Amino acid sequence: MALPVVDVRPSDEYSDHSLVLFQLPLPRPPLRYVDVKTREWKGFDADRFQLDLLNSRLRMLTSELDDMSADCLQQMYDDTLSTLLDKHAPRRAVRRRRQPTTPWFDSDCAAAKRRARMSASIPLYTLSC
């Protein structure tokens, strides 16, 4: 499939390594949106959550827990935490824009980007005498 080239021109610099600018009439892929569920973490009060957790069924006497099976204990744990999280950080639906990935951005590029961001966040200390 041949694409018509609309415009080709060298840059303003004159060198054997100059930049070549061009435009191709390629359509952009349509934007896609995805609905995701998330929680309201901005208003989360850890102290109130901890207080409710300390007053929950998970703090039963160990003698009462000894009679329960591992499946029942797991179900109680899941139910209690889900209820408390729904109270302190309710779920909400959010629509996010999904960008198509570029073919050249592979795992090596992602690792290099991650290393660059990590090194930018590490403070540089200088020792003074």
Q: Is residue 31 part of a domain?
A: no
Examine residue 63 and state whether it is found in any structural domain, yes or no: yes
What is the mean predicted confidence (pLDDT) over 96-113? 83
Domain count for the chain: 1
Residue 102 lies in a domain: no
> How many Å apart are CA 73 and CA 55, to the nearest integer?
17
Whether 129 is in a domain gets the answer no
- Predicted pLDDT of residue 103: 73
Residue span of the structural domain in which 55 resides: 47-95
End-to-end CA distance of the chain: 68
For residues 111 and 67, the model is more confident at: 111
| Structure confidence at residue 91 (pLDDT) | 94
pLDDT in tens, 3-54: 666 666 666 666 666 677 777 777 777 888 999 999 999 989 999 999 999 9
60 falls within a domain:
yes
pLDDT score for 118: 84
pLDDT higher than 90, residue 57: no
pLDDT over 70 at 125, yes or no: no
Position 79 in a domain? yes
> Per the domain annotation, does 2 fall within a domain?
no
Question: Is 38:92 a contact under the CB 8 Å cutoff?
Answer: yes
pLDDT classification of 106: cutoffs 50, 70, 90: confident
In a domain, 123, yes or no: no
Residue-wise pLDDT for 63-102, tens only, equals 777 888 899 989 999 999 999 999 999 999 999 988 777 7
The Cβ-side half-sphere exposure at 35, using a 13 Å CA radius, reads 3
